[in-house]
Amino acid sequence: MTNYELNVQGSLFDWDIEKGTITFENDEVVLFWVNTAFKALLDSIEEISGEKAAKLVLETAGYRTGKIVSSFYLESIGDTEKILEKLPNTYVTAGWGVTEIVSFSEKEKTAVVRVKNSWEYKINLAQGKEEEGTFLPGHWAGVLSGLLGAKIWYRVLKSQVEGEDCTEYEFFPSHITPTLNVNAMIQEEEQRAKRGLEESISERTKMLSDIIKDISSPIIPVIESILVIPLIGKYEEFRAEELLNRTLLNLPRYQASYLILDLTGLKGVDEYTLDFLQKFVRAASLLGTSCLLVGITPELSMQIAQSGYEVSEIPCFSILQQGIKYALDQQGLQITKKQ
């Protein structure tokens, strides 16, 4: 024999050995071992996509298969009450567990469905899960949405995985759909990724700011009474205030008579930069330290002249060596060869 048929309480199974097919209720099916092969399939989905995404995948797949079931029986049987009378037997003969429709209201579009020893419960048990699965409630939400022509969703009233004697789902009209849940998860993941990126950028920015504070315009002691600060790059408000505050806090510790500001590496000199230099010189003088400007290029001297910035009382030099020599001379010091 190559063909076998079996009627289990009205549910028809057909095997065609020659073709290698099995049909259930006149549609092709395939058999999986629940605790091994099917479990491995669901484990793989969860491993690849993550637990949260896997739950949503199963819920969505359950919902869509439920819509297919409702469509099939609406075409073959047509009457919603008769379909719901048949479905529990269909599911128990298919190995989906013992299913009972506890209550149903076509007018209110509500239902309560009870399931015991379902394949999803067995797999969740084998996986060591402690939370109800999402395929079966999603599936029944799809079945009822199709039968009632409305958006139906669910809540879990009892859970066999969590220790109850059975699992019970309540169904009701709702705007929630798997599509909305997928979009919500995508938005949540995008927001999480965005927050992570923002936190990473913030941490890197702080780290770079700290590095800039450490290496930007360091205070370099030449001798006990002379300090040099090279001004490098462009000074906007943050860098300028940081340099001024750090210098003024450290000047008393050095007890320097002269502070040489080296402008050789200064870039993008504008009115703000010149005002900042003037403010810097005044603040240092209040602490008893005289400032010198070195590294004055022809272009910078023209900018200073055009701005009206007053430098007549501040010694200015083109190179650092001249500034150091001037500061030494003013203190009656000089550098000589060792005898």
The pLDDT score that the predictor gives to residue 210 is 66
Domain boundaries, the chain: 32-176, 217-330
Reported as a single tens digit per residue, the pLDDT across 1-12 is 788 999 988 888
Whether 194 shows a pLDDT value over 80: the answer reads no
Please state, in angstroms and as integers, the Cα–Cα distance from residue 305 to each residue in 60, 270, 301, 310, following that order. Answer: 74, 12, 6, 8
Q: Using an 8 Å Cβ cutoff, are 194 and 220 in contact?
A: no
Reported as a single tens digit per residue, the pLDDT across 78-133 is 999 999 999 999 999 999 999 999 999 999 999 999 999 999 999 999 999 889 99
Q: Do 32-176 and 217-330 agree at the fold level?
A: no
The whole-angstrom separation of Cα 137 and Cα 155 is 8
**Which residue, 267, 261, 279, is CA-closest to 303?**
267
Q: Which fold has domain 217-330?
A: Transcription Regulator spoIIAA (3.30.750)
Q: Which fold has domain 32-176?
A: Muramoyl-pentapeptide Carboxypeptidase; domain 2 (3.30.1380)
pTM of the model: 0.57
Q: List the single range of 106-115, 132-141, 297-306 with lowest mean pLDDT.
A: 297-306
pLDDT band of residue 190 (cuts 50, 70, 90) is low
The type of residue at 278 is Q
The whole-angstrom separation of Cα 48 and Cα 40 is 12
Structure tokens at 139: 């599936």
